[in-house]
């Protein structure tokens, strides 16, 4: 299920590369909701892949207000003998919240996927 959150980056995005050379970026977003006089803060670990990962790392930093869209997953694990879980958002789109910032759009160089070659049956 896809979802959208608006919040602040809690740390600078970190980029790493897989053995295949694919970029993956991790960052966290704090989302604050108010109910009456009380505030509730939820934290989401986020991961972005490919060119999105590279652009996030180049563009955003700790404290930036962002809008993130993606799919939530919950990981369960055991640490120090205790069962724990974490929620991760696999990001499909992210950008600055323009209520709090301005942005300059730089489309950069787009790399279109290379179409698959098919064998021709034409003898000529």
Q: What tens digit of pLDDT does each residue of 7-26 get?
A: 999 999 999 999 999 999 99
Region 25-37: what's the mean pLDDT?
94
Q: Tokens 């966290």 sit at which residue? A: 28
CATH of domain 2-96: 2.40.50.140
**How does strand 14-17 pair with strand 23-35?**
antiparallel
User: CA-to-CA distance for 4 and 6, rounded, in angstroms?
Assistant: 7
pLDDT of residue 124 exceeding 50, the answer is: no
Residues 6+ apart with CB under 8 A from 42: 30, 31, 33
Asked if residues 3 and 22 have their Cβ atoms less than 8 Å apart, the reply is: no
Whole-structure pTM value: 0.76
Listed range (71-80, 95-104, 115-124) with the worst mean pLDDT: 115-124
The residue ranges of every structural domain in the chain are: 2-96
Region 69-92: what's the mean pLDDT?
91
Asked if residues 52 and 69 have their Cβ atoms less than 8 Å apart, the reply is: no
């Amino acid at each position: 299920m896809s979802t959208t959150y608006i919040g602040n980056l809690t740390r600078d995005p970190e980029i790493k590369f897989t053995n295949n050379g694919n970029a993956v970026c991790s960052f966290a977003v704090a989302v604050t909701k108010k109910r009456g006089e009380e505030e509730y803060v939820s934290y989401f670990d986020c991961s972005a892949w490919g060119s999105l990962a590279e652009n996030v790392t180049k563009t955003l930093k700790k404290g930036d207000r962002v809008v993130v869209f993606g799919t939530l997953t919950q990981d369960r694990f055991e640490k120090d003998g205790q069962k724990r879980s974490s929620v991760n958002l696999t990001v499909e789109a992210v950008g600055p919240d323009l209520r709090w910032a301005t942005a300059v759009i730089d489309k950069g160089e787009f790399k279109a996927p290379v179409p698959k070659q098919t064998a021709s049956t034409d003898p000529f």
